[in-house]
Structure 1
């Protein structure tokens, strides 16, 4: 491998591992906020226990995720300084907004949420977790705006004298058509991850019999308690996220066909332009990915997904290659076809699998039932990994499908590498980051399992605080009519 390949592997490794934490954080912050809101409105202590339980998992994810994310900032200067120099004026603007606005809000208010139990008014405390959740959305939007510039560069002009691209319209960057469709697609997919984690953890405790049954209702079954509530809210979240991901993904496919036709052609291993074009379910190609040998297809479906018409034309790899050679000069402009083809399909397959398990969970726990078979436990263990893999493969497809461009049509990947970097230097940092990230991933999983296994915490102090009052030292006590200078009652 040369320096470019090693630099790509290093950035891919650190980015993929960091992205494990992103959808978890976005979705879990909202789910915890919803649980706390339900507790505040109903005064049902079971929802408080769920809030504290899943809130701890959220905080573990945030802590480890921040560590993995720090490396991303250094990557641009470490191996990609020419990229930073050429488009840093545009690419850096939304990243600066993310750091100075979104990440600042997220960090401050999650800290207030952590240390505010029993110390600040309950309604204000609830607002802090909602602000944290909204800040994660802002953070995602700004980062996606930066990435979307790489997919579809807008809002810039080339300064020939300085030899770099310069920002001319930040609004164009923030409202890039790719950003507007990628954001909902990413957020819906993220909610599939959080919902799957909640549903899987709750189902595991139910299957293992680690629940606290409530009294049976007259003429009806007993309620298995808090974890059944968590399971159902998690499974519904997975299904809603799945539908949203599919709908937004369909729109995204049409935008991708418009701005990056080569990526869509590579995703389908479509070598020749067709009108109408079929969607291949399974294709066997040559080892170099230059042509298809055998394919199972659904007639006209690719035309509809790409253009909105069953009769629409979809351009093939060979025709786009000829056009790009005329436009950009000699070169290979098709990405790795097997990688883009299979990551696209596996992304969809894992997402559908997660939705199917979530639907089964809702069916299996209807009317207070709890499945106890080993297959139920195996499906539960698999559930959180499926949408996580779907998210990861989706981003691998997005980034590999853009190749050989670092910024599509503007900067080839090979032109963005730091001048003077040697194979040995990049290989050394690649090995270092691989070991570091493997350790952090193991720590993350170990901490999540350790804190998810014991079950729901005791929340008697917080329950009293929520029902009545709070002292300045944080010790909760029931509300009464006594006038206490540092007590808040509502």
Structure 2
């Protein structure tokens, strides 16, 4: 591997690892805020205990997200200095706003929430967790605005003297059409992630016969959040596919292994491609499905890989403008598949817990716990598709990835840092899992109103 390949691997590993924590932080912050609101309104101890239990897990995840996110920004200077030099004036603006506005908001009010339980009035203390939750969403918005500029650059000009991109319209960057469809997709995905996390742990606690009624409440809440959010993911993903078809037709074509421009294009379910000859050997399709996804019409025209490549050669000059077709194709499908399974699991859980039922079957617990992984896999594969499908561009249509790498970096330096970061992240992952398991096993704080030992629980049944 050369410096470019190693730098891409390093940034990919650190980015995917960091994003394991981001959606859970966003989703859990809203769950905790909602539970504390329920406690404030009803004064029921169960809601307070759930707030503090899920709040601990939220704080562990938040801390890990902060630690792993810092590394990414350093890499812009270490591995991608040419990129930073070229677009820093534009790309740095939303990142600066994220640090000065969003991160300040979430970290400040999260600190007040942590230390203000017995020091702030209940209403003010409740406001702190809501403001922290809003801060996490704002943080995601500014970062997505920066990333969306790489997907669809707007609000800038190229200085003919310095040959650098200069910001001309920050509002255009912040209201980029790509941002406006990506943000709800990511937020809904975060709620699916939090729903699966809360549901899996709640099912495990119920199986251990610990605070069954209380954890049934959080189980049902998580299933509702997960199901509604899964619908939001599907709808926002549909909008995102239409924007992608318009702005990055090569990415959409690669996702569907569509080689030629085609009207009434089918949605590919399974394909075996012949990349060298630009065709498919096998392609099982849903008739007209891709045209509906991309254009909202049965006979809409969708551009194909070979035709786009020919047009890009004329527009941008010599080069291969195709991403890794197999990676784009399968990451797109697996993202959809895992997301669909997460929504299906929420629907099944709501059915099994209807009318006061509490499922006690071991298989339900195993499926619910295993289901925690589904949205994490969908989120990670979604980002792999988003970033790899854009290749060979760092900034689409403006700067290629090969031109963005640091000229002073060499293979041994990048290789050592790649191995070092990967090992450190493995250690951090072990710490994260150990802390989460520790507090999950400890369970909620004792019920302050329970003066006598609880009676044995009756046998659970459907």
Please tell me whether the aligned partners of residues 254 and 307 of structure 1 are also in contact (alpha carbons under 8 angstroms): yes
Q: CA deviation at 1:339?
A: 0.4
Q: Does 1:436 align with 2:424?
A: yes
Please tell me whether the aligned partners of residues 256 and 329 of structure 2 are also in contact (alpha carbons under 8 angstroms): yes
Query: What is the aligned counterpart of 1:231 among 219, 231, 235?
Result: 219
Q: CA deviation at 1:368?
A: 2.8
Q: Which residue does the alignment assign to 1:216?
A: none
Q: CA deviation at 1:305?
A: 0.6
Q: How far apart in 2 are the matches of 1:450 and 1:74?
A: 32
Q: Which residue does the alignment assign to 1:72?
A: 72
Q: CA deviation at 1:160?
A: 1.5
Cα gap change, 1:345 to 1:326, in 2 (>3 Å): same
Q: Which residue does the alignment assign to 1:209?
A: 209
Partner SS for 1:120 = coil
Q: How far apart in 1 are the matches of 2:24 and 2:159?
A: 40
Q: Which residue does the alignment assign to 1:481?
A: none
Q: Which residue does the alignment assign to 2:3?
A: 3
Q: How far apart in 2 are the matches of 1:54 and 1:289?
A: 53
Please tell me whether the aligned partners of residues 278 and 306 of structure 2 are also in contact (alpha carbons under 8 angstroms): no
Please tell me whether the aligned partners of residues 309 and 322 of structure 2 are also in contact (alpha carbons under 8 angstroms): yes
Q: Does 1:117 align with 2:117?
A: yes
Q: How far apart in 1 are the matches of 2:319 and 2:392?
A: 9
Q: How far apart in 1 are the matches of 2:399 and 2:210?
A: 56
Task: List alignment gaps of at least 5 residues for structure 2.
Answer: 450-462
Cα gap change, 1:287 to 1:52, in 2 (>3 Å): same
Q: Does 1:320 align with 2:320?
A: no
Q: Which residue does the alignment assign to 1:271?
A: 259
Q: Does 1:51 align with 2:51?
A: yes
Partner SS for 1:249 = helix
Please tell me whether the aligned partners of residues 273 and 280 of structure 2 are also in contact (alpha carbons under 8 angstroms): yes
Q: Which residue does the alignment assign to 1:18?
A: 18
Please tell me whether the aligned partners of residues 204 and 365 of structure 2 are also in contact (alpha carbons under 8 angstroms): yes
Q: Is 285-294 or 138-147 further displaced after alignment?
A: 285-294
Q: How do 1:94-105 and structure 2 match up within 5 A?
A: 94-105=94-105
Please tell me whether the aligned partners of residues 142 and 174 of structure 1 are also in contact (alpha carbons under 8 angstroms): yes
Q: How far apart in 2 are the matches of 1:135 and 1:159?
A: 34
Partner SS for 1:453 = helix
Cα gap change, 1:203 to 1:316, in 2 (>3 Å): same
Please tell me whether the aligned partners of residues 3 and 414 of structure 2 are also in contact (alpha carbons under 8 angstroms): yes
Partner SS for 2:442 = coil
Q: CA deviation at 1:31?
A: 0.6
Cα gap change, 1:260 to 1:425, in 2 (>3 Å): same
Query: What is the aligned counterpart of 2:326 among 302, 327, 338?
Result: 338
Q: CA deviation at 1:289?
A: 8.7
Q: Which residue does the alignment assign to 2:389?
A: 401
Aligned length: 449
**Could you tell me the TM-score, scaled by structure 2's length?**
0.95
Q: How far apart in 2 are the matches of 1:70 and 1:3?
A: 22
Task: List alignment gaps of at least 5 residues for structure 1.
Answer: 212-223, 462-490
Q: Which residue does the alignment assign to 1:61?
A: 61
Q: How far apart in 2 are the matches of 1:441 and 1:240?
A: 30
Partner SS for 1:295 = strand
Deviation string for 1:9-57 (max 9, x for gaps)? 0000000000001000101001100000000001111000000000000
- Higher gyration radius (CA): 1
Q: Which residue does the alignment assign to 1:280?
A: 268
Please tell me whether the aligned partners of residues 20 and 392 of structure 1 are also in contact (alpha carbons under 8 angstroms): yes
Q: How far apart in 1 are the matches of 2:296 and 2:357?
A: 43
Q: How far apart in 2 are the matches of 1:84 and 1:340?
A: 26
Please tell me whether the aligned partners of residues 48 and 459 of structure 1 are also in contact (alpha carbons under 8 angstroms): no
Please tell me whether the aligned partners of residues 208 and 372 of structure 1 are also in contact (alpha carbons under 8 angstroms): no
Q: Is 369-378 or 137-146 further displaced after alignment?
A: 369-378
Q: CA deviation at 1:366?
A: 2.0
Q: How far apart in 1 are the matches of 2:161 and 2:266?
A: 48
Please tell me whether the aligned partners of residues 200 and 365 of structure 2 are also in contact (alpha carbons under 8 angstroms): no
